[in-house]
Structures are given as C-alpha cells and as structure tokens.
Amino acid sequence: MRILVVLALAAFSSTAAAQSIPVTLSEWKLKLGRDTVPAGKITFQIKNEGQMTHGFFVRGNGVQQGAPDIPVGQSGSLTVTLKPGSYTVYCPLADLSHRKAGMLATLVVKASDGPAGATKPPAGTETPHPARAR
C-alpha cells in the first residue's frame, strides 16, 4: 500500500512541476527560448546580457505579473500559471520605452493534452459503445 501512495505522490509532483523557459534580455531585444508552451505553471529563467538594467513582465488573459528589475549580468526568474491564450512579454522599464524599442515578444499557450501519461488506446482496441455493439 505504501508503494502505491509513494508512486501516486511522485506522479502528482511531476505534473505539478513548472515548465522552464529561458529568456535573454539585451538592449532592445527580448529572446524567448520557446514561444509556444502547454498551459500550466511556467518559470521564466531570465538573464540580462545587456549593458543596462532590464525588467520582465507578462501580460494577457488576466495575468499581469513581473519580475524584479535585473541588473547587468544578473539573472532572475518569474513563475506564473498560464491558461491557454496569447500573452505579451516585455521589458517595462523607462516608461515602456524599452518595450517600444523592441523588447517584446508573444508567448502562445496551448491547452494541455490531459493528465501526464494519458494516452489513447492503440487503433482497433477501443471498446465499442454498448448501444452500437448489437
């Protein structure tokens, strides 16, 4: 019984883990490691490779969250839970002038395929609907 409980907890914790997306900031550029992800908890791993302080902000679908400002050569992170939809990510510094200069990108979040490990049965092995089995 204990083994089943441990296995169930391990499966649950792996599905609850955040997906990681690397983000690189530099003058007038914001580069996402991926621009499409499944819905769920996302951790942006942000690195400032520029010559000035930059920030990182996520906006869309009811989300408005940002990371603390990231000094030159430093890194930071931001974890958010995102539903399917389109999100704008950008540097919010200097009254949005960094965003206007090109430090923005679009992140597309797609619906999850279902619980981890869920698969469709192989073709030809489906159980027929009772009403159609006659």
The CATH number of whichever domain residue 24 belongs to comes to 2.60.40.420
State pTM to two decimals: 0.74
In a domain, 12, yes or no: no
User: Is residue 62 assigned to a domain?
Assistant: yes
Q: Are 68 and 56 in contact (CB under 8 A)?
A: no
CA 11 to chain centre: 20
pLDDT tens digits, 17-75: 889 999 999 999 999 999 999 999 999 999 999 999 999 999 999 999 999 999 999 99
Q: Which domain holds residue 59?
A: 18-110
Which residues lie across from 82 on neighbouring strands?
40
* Domain annotation covers residue 38: yes
In a domain, 121, yes or no: no
